[in-house]
Amino acid sequence: MTNPYMILALQQARLSMQTEDVPVGAVIVSGNRAISYGCNLREAKKSATAHAEIVAIEKACESLATWYLTDCDLYVTLEPCIMCAGAILNARIRSLYFGAFDPKAGACGSVTDVFSLKQLNHHVTVYSGIMEDACSALLKEFFQMKRR
């Protein structure tokens, strides 16, 4: 089943490929409206923290003039890493929807599950496998091109 916000996230992921970044895209939604977008820019910016989720969170905070994103949902094509999971929690994002699982760095159950920690002061509802085949296919395509 397709999801309009994940389609937007996939479009963002394709933008990452233009700078030879791993194709990961993110969209933040508030009130049924996409308010910010982000794509992986680690190579483009030469920055370890320029993940799609971080880029989208920063833009959403600017757009809403607050760091409290309590009424926002995040759609991302790849399972967030530990750093991004921390940013999602700190921004107080309500729900996370992700596509492909990341068996090497995923922090939503693949390697660890940051969001299951009961001791934290904020909890995010997590939905996994949203358009997983399309998200995984884009990553596979990228890495096949890199190996040529």
**Catalytic positions:** 53
Distances (CA, A) of 33 to 4, 11, 36, 105: 11, 16, 9, 29
> Rounded to an integer, what is the distance from CA 11 to the centroid of its chain?
13
Burial class (CB in 10 A: 0-12, 13-18, 19+), 145: exposed
